[in-house]
Amino acid sequence: MSDLRFTDQHEWIRTEGDSGTIGISDYAQQQLGDVVYVELPDVGKTVSRGDELAVVESVKAASEIYAPITGEVTAVNDALNDEPGLVNSAAMDGGWFLKIKLSDASQLDALMDENAYKEYVAGLD
């Protein structure tokens, strides 16, 4: 069973066992506008929660994406190199950024579940 969690910076992580898939929320991609470039980390890179993980450039701005959890990057979504617009069209599935092996799954407890995130975003408008 997968578990979906969100940060207050609009990153999401969907975990299955000791691995997770990371991307940005639909709300975040809407705020960015058309994504034109995504800079992804190298496979094998170890990151701590809160570290810069990737960079997204859109027609409006460049934004850093931060690690929602500590771990090691095990895969990146190479499709974003050729089609960065996947972040806009499929932010919560095909537009994922990377996969990570979790170092400390208890860090997930500090993240919002889907309902809490929806309430958080509703308070931003």
CATH code, 68: 2.40.50.100
100 within a domain of the structure (yes/no): yes
Instruction: Count how many domains the chain has.
Output: 1
Kindly report, residue by residue over 8-23, the tens digit of the pLDDT: 999 999 999 999 999 9
In a domain, 112, yes or no: no
Whole-number Å distance between alpha carbons of 46 and 37: 23
Q: Give me 109's structure tokens.
A: 């407890």
Decide if 53 contacts 67 (C-beta within 8 A): yes
Does 56 reside within a domain?
A: yes
Predicted pLDDT at 28 = 95
b/e sequence 46-71, b meaning 16+ C-beta within 10 Å: ebebeeebbebebeeeebebbbbbbb
Q: What is the pLDDT of residues 54-84, one digit of tens each?
A: 999 999 889 999 999 999 999 999 999 999 9
Choose among 97, 99, 67, 56: nearest CA to 79: 97
End-to-end CA distance of the chain: 32
Residue 15, in any domain of the structure: yes
Structural domain contains residue 41: yes
CA 60 remoteness from chain centre: 19
Q: Is residue 122 domain-resident?
A: no
Residue keyed to tokens 């929320």: 25
CA distances (Å), origin 76, targets 3, 14, 61: 20, 15, 22
88 occurs within a structural domain: yes
**Structural domain boundaries enclosing 30:** 3-104
